[in-house]
Amino acid sequence: MFDIFSQGGPLFMGILTLILLSLMAVFAVSIIKKRDEKQLLQSIQWLKSLGTLGLVVGVLGQLIGLFSAFSVIETSQGISPTMLVSGLKVSMITTLYGLIIYITYILFSMILKRVK
């Protein structure tokens, strides 16, 4: 797991991890504290914002990774298909992590909607 984390790049993977931890914290506080309907809706809105932010940061990380990879390919003379595919695979790590965060948001919001 740490290998995949480091391949995704410490900057974007670190940001995404902070977003995931924030998402979990908002969910935990919402479950632990007894809240009225208005506060519960605010928590769901926070979860939505954090989930969407995780997805967008993941896609941004992939696009920056692809841009860097294509810049290297452009300047090099010969690129093998294996190198190209491995670069594309690594660029998708942040997007996958962002999607996991978004799916976590959806699950958490479904649980909170059942609680109210």
pLDDT one-digit tens code per residue, 23-42: 999 999 998 887 788 888 89
**What pLDDT is stored for residue 116 in this prediction?**
62
Q: Which residue has the tokens 């690594």?
A: 90
Residue 33 lies in a domain: yes
Residue 77 lies in a domain: no
**What pLDDT is stored for residue 76 in this prediction?**
81
Residue-wise over 45-68: b if at least 16 C-beta within 10 A, else e? ebbbebbebbbebbeebbeebeee
Residue 9 lies in a domain: yes
C-alpha–C-alpha distance, residues 64 and 105, integer Å: 24
pLDDT tens across 57-101, in order?
999 999 998 888 888 888 887 778 787 788 788 889 999 999 999
Range of the domain at 22: 2-64+90-115
**What pLDDT is stored for residue 88 in this prediction?**
84
C-alpha–C-alpha distance, residues 72 and 62, integer Å: 15
Q: Which is higher by pLDDT, 2 or 48?
A: 48
Residue type at 11 in one-letter notation: L
* Reported pTM: 0.89
Q: Which residue has the tokens 């995404």?
A: 16
Residue 39 lies in a domain: yes
**Residue 9: both structure tokens together:** 């790049």
Q: Which is higher by pLDDT, 78 or 9?
A: 9
Residue 109 lies in a domain: yes
